[in-house]
Amino acid sequence: MVPKKQNYNNLFVLMAFTTLLASACSDPAAPETTPASFPTDTRPPPTSTATQPQSSSLVPPTLTPSPLPTIIPSTPIAGQAHPLVLDSISVQDLQLLHYVGTGVHTFTLWSPDGKYFVRATTRGIYFHDSETFEEVLFMDTGYVVRKLVFSPDGSRLAFAASGRVEVWSTESGEKLLEIETPFDFPRQLEYSPTGYIAAIGRPCIDCDPVSVLVVWDVVTGEELFYYDMIYSHRFDMTMSPDGKTIAYGGGHVLFLDMEDPSHAEHYSPSLEFNPQDVYELSYLPDGEHIFVQTFDDNDVYNNGPSYILSLNGEPTEEVLPGIECDQRTHEDGIITCHNYKKVQRFSYPGWVEVLNYSRDEWFESRTFGPDGDQMVVDTKDGLFVFDTQMRNVLFPLDQIGMQAIAIGMRQVNADSQYFAATTDVGQIDYWDLVTGKLLHSMQISEARIKGVALSPDQSTLASIDEFGVIRMIDINTFSITLSHDLGEVNYGPIVYSPTGSEIALLYGDPSAVFTFDLQSQALTYVGEDVTPWDYYYSSVLGHGPFIYTDAGDIVSWTWQEENVSLSNYSQEEVLEFSYDMSNHWSGPQAAAFSPVGRYAAIGLNNETILIGDTTKVEIIRELVGHSPVTGLHGWTGSFEYLTFSPVNDLLLSIGKDATIRLWDIVSGVELHKIDFYGFADFTPDGRFLIVKSGSLIQVWGVPPLP
């Protein structure tokens, strides 16, 4: 969970400040408020130290319509701006300057001769010695690799990413071929021994046709075959061992004669049975049989029946009909039966069991080495290469690291050191963001750490684990200075107050906003959590539905049919911005204040960011760019997070559409877009933009690095 930097002034401006700001900007003063109800809490406090606010009655301000005003840029905070600070002009030169970490695992395979274990991540492609797992080669692809395939002789490696296929030399590590493709979502990639590569994929989520199959010359990149009549939402492709036939499926299994790839033709072999809803296809080593996995529309978590199709007229055979399997896969003539605590492998023909392994805790097997003695397993603690004979872990692939992050800077020998504190299972790691070096690691708990926040003076890190234990850590001595157990209850992100004297968090069931005083260790109720907090992916980024102002007030957001509201729990005030919300099934999903508190950005679930003037209490601009996304559990949303630069009005938005965007609220122009799903925030001086997804951190900025 990510700390919200303390760079906002009090939204609910005191009269003197309002008058001063209005005079400086030549704008009328904010409208006066009238009495209305403010919500109170009737539940008992969660601990004996919690205190409750008294009931009170306040009202939102009266709205006075006025013409659309011109946005007046905020004045940068004196003494904090770096010469290369990101702003609406310099962001045009924004570049990815540096990586920290190896990235999130996406794909693994072994080389044809078994000498190398290869893993693809969001950072690039890593080659490891298959016995020692020592890294021997890194291919800096610059793309999120979705599929990998070796040439039959192992001398080349092809990968598929969104919009491209590339071929690299495994000897020199150099790129040999780059091809633009029509796929945003590559499904399968095959490398023929006869000199071509083939790929099948989906151009977009809802486009027509649903999927496309393309074949290219592996040396020149010339397109040899293009077929876009695959009308099925589930599809796959497999190539015969001799490269002369491609079988692919959607609704049924179809065949292409690839004797001459530039004149490929469909043909129909004699099949006793051609299954529907084909999800996975794979030729068996003999080239005469094909493994087919079907999809069960009635059970999205488990596959349907599997079959072995014969191309020489033999009867179709159902795979392992008497054995319960959540999923079945095929590799090199071995059928694997996957269950969530057990894996079995059977050779074909004959269905001879060659592996039976189970454990008490959940795990999922992925792929196996050439001899079956190694397998990649997914567990609650991450991805590992596992020895199936010795039953021990050989190599960690993508452990659950960098789950929460806090970004800071401090002075080291008169220089500014940009650093990030990230969390693993019970562990906190400190990284130098410029060099990428790990500065320090410390184990503070046996539980997973759910949130971290840096104090305003950058000297103390606050953390909270899954059991509700708050710890304060001195980042100069790396020692724990405070530990307090809240109890194992439902809670959310933690945020430091601007003074550093308290932290705020979601706590309880149902959750509400509380503050925790670091001196008295008292937990105090502040206000209800009135925002929707049940999104499927909310735990991925963990941003809280509340923020601090520079004056130390806690603000949350809600909505009604005719307005969106910012509720100041500390001052018991509400600002209602008039806006038609009748077509919205849920309210604001994120909010942020500009550094001087003049403007508020409010992200709605329909891709719109509202810019509100807090002195006039009116919406003065609408920014549109992110796309709403419908999740697995039926929710629809657009935003994960909004924040302003700490030194100017540059606005950052993180969307559920896997994009990060920078906006100029003065002109309303989108200045830059980064295609990446994860957390992002500015360094305290506004010099860099730090982007994190899984175990990979990207450092963006205007070159050069310090």
What are 341's strand-pairing partners? none
User: CA nearest 591: which of 620, 635, 554?
Assistant: 554
**Number of domains comprising the chain:** 3
Mean pLDDT of 80-108: 87
pLDDT at 695 over 70: yes
In contact, 79 and 646? CB cutoff 8 Å: no
3-state secondary structure of 93: helix
**Residue 220: burial class (beta carbons within 10 Å; 0-12, 13-18, 19+):** exposed
pLDDT at 632 over 80: no
pLDDT computed for residue 682 by the predictor: 94
pLDDT at 203 over 50: yes
Of 385, 401, 417, which residue constitutes the final position of a domain?
Answer: 401
In whole angstroms, what is the distance from residue 691 CA to residue 230 CA?
Answer: 37
pLDDT at 241 over 50: yes
Cis amide bond preceding 209, omega within 30:
yes
- Tell me, yes or no, whether 411 lies in a domain: yes
pLDDT computed for residue 19 by the predictor: 34
Mean pLDDT of 110-118: 94
User: CA nearest 232: which of 252, 213, 215, 214?
Assistant: 252
Position of tokens 């794979």?
282
* DSSP at 144: -
- Domain check: are 208 and 295 in the same one? yes
- Domain check: are 579 and 431 in the same one? yes
In whole angstroms, what is the distance from residue 338 CA to residue 290 CA?
Answer: 19
Question: Both tokens of residue 699?
Answer: 């450092």
- Tell me, yes or no, whether 128 lies in a domain: no
Q: How does residue 537 score in pLDDT terms, banded at 50, 70 and 90?
A: very low
Neighbours of 538 (CB within 10 A): 18
- Tell me, yes or no, whether 137 lies in a domain: no
Q: Whole-structure pTM over 0.85, yes or no? A: no
- Domain check: are 370 and 506 in the same one? no
- Tell me, yes or no, whether 25 lies in a domain: yes
pLDDT at 109 over 60: yes
pLDDT computed for residue 222 by the predictor: 96
Question: Both tokens of residue 673?
Answer: 């877009």
- Domain check: are 285 and 175 in the same one? yes
Provide the residue type at 330 as one letter: H
Taking CA atoms, 570 is separated from 398, 432, 595, in Å, by 42, 36, 19
Q: Is 523 left (phi over 0), alpha (psi -120 to 50) or beta?
A: beta
Range(s) of the domain holding residue 345: 341-401
pLDDT at 132 over 70: yes
The CATH number linked to 695 is 2.130.10.10
pLDDT digits (tens, 9 = 90+) for 475-484: 889 999 999 9
In whole angstroms, what is the distance from residue 370 CA to residue 331 CA?
Answer: 9
Cis amide bond preceding 706, omega within 30:
no
- Tell me, yes or no, whether 261 lies in a domain: yes
- Domain check: are 186 and 206 in the same one? yes
Of 401, 425, 443, which residue constitutes the final position of a domain?
Answer: 401
In whole angstroms, what is the distance from residue 344 CA to residue 324 CA?
Answer: 10
- Domain check: are 300 and 369 in the same one? no
Q: How does residue 91 score in pLDDT terms, banded at 50, 70 and 90?
A: very high
Taking CA atoms, 389 is separated from 369, 374, 392, 674, in Å, by 12, 8, 8, 44
3-state secondary structure of 623: strand
- Tell me, yes or no, whether 454 lies in a domain: yes
How is the beta sheet containing 196-202 ordered, strand by strand? 185-191, 196-202, 211-217, 223-230
Q: Give the least confident one: 24-38, 76-90, 296-310.
A: 24-38
Q: How does residue 8 score in pLDDT terms, banded at 50, 70 and 90?
A: very low
- Domain check: are 566 and 695 in the same one? yes
Phi, psi dihedrals of residue 15, rounded to the nearest 5°: -60, -40
- Tell me, yes or no, whether 569 lies in a domain: yes
- Domain check: are 304 and 369 in the same one? no
pLDDT at 162 over 70: yes
Q: How does residue 20 score in pLDDT terms, banded at 50, 70 and 90?
A: very low
DSSP structure string for 334-378: EEEEEETTEEEEEETTTTEEEEEEE-SS-EEEEEE-TTSSEEEEE
Q: Are strands 223-230 and 278-283 parallel, antiparallel or unpaired?
A: unpaired
- Domain check: are 153 and 90 in the same one? no
- Domain check: are 297 and 355 in the same one? no
Q: Give the least confident one: 394-398, 465-469, 695-699.
A: 394-398
- Domain check: are 473 and 513 in the same one? yes
User: CA nearest 500: which of 513, 477, 527, 481?
Assistant: 481
Q: How does residue 59 score in pLDDT terms, banded at 50, 70 and 90?
A: very low
First vs last C-alpha separation in the chain: 28
Q: Give the least confident one: 186-190, 360-364, 576-580.
A: 360-364
pLDDT digits (tens, 9 = 90+) for 511-525: 678 899 999 999 988
* DSSP at 21: H
pLDDT computed for residue 43 by the predictor: 28
DSSP structure string for 46-84: SSTT---PPP-B--PBPP---PPPPPPPPPPPTTT--TT
pLDDT at 159 over 60: yes
The radius of gyration of the chain from alpha carbons, rounded to an integer in Å, stands at: 28
pLDDT computed for residue 209 by the predictor: 63
String of b and e for 590-618 (b: at least 16 CB within 10 Å)? bbbbbbbbbbbbbbbbbbbbbbbbbbbbb
Position of tokens 């002195």?
615
Mean pLDDT of 10-28: 35
pLDDT digits (tens, 9 = 90+) for 651-682: 999 887 778 999 999 889 999 999 877 889 99
Mean pLDDT of 365-382: 85
Mean pLDDT of 237-265: 91
- The dihedral over CA atoms of 339, 340, 345, 350, expressed in degrees to the nearest 10, equals -10
Of 359, 386, 401, which residue constitutes the final position of a domain?
Answer: 401
As a whole number, the mean pLDDT across the chain is 80
Q: How does residue 510 score in pLDDT terms, banded at 50, 70 and 90?
A: low
- Domain check: are 534 and 571 in the same one? yes
Mean pLDDT of 188-204: 92
pLDDT computed for residue 102 by the predictor: 84
Taking CA atoms, 155 is separated from 133, 196, 242, in Å, by 20, 14, 18
- Tell me, yes or no, whether 135 lies in a domain: no
Highest-pLDDT range among 293-307, 433-447, 585-599 = 433-447
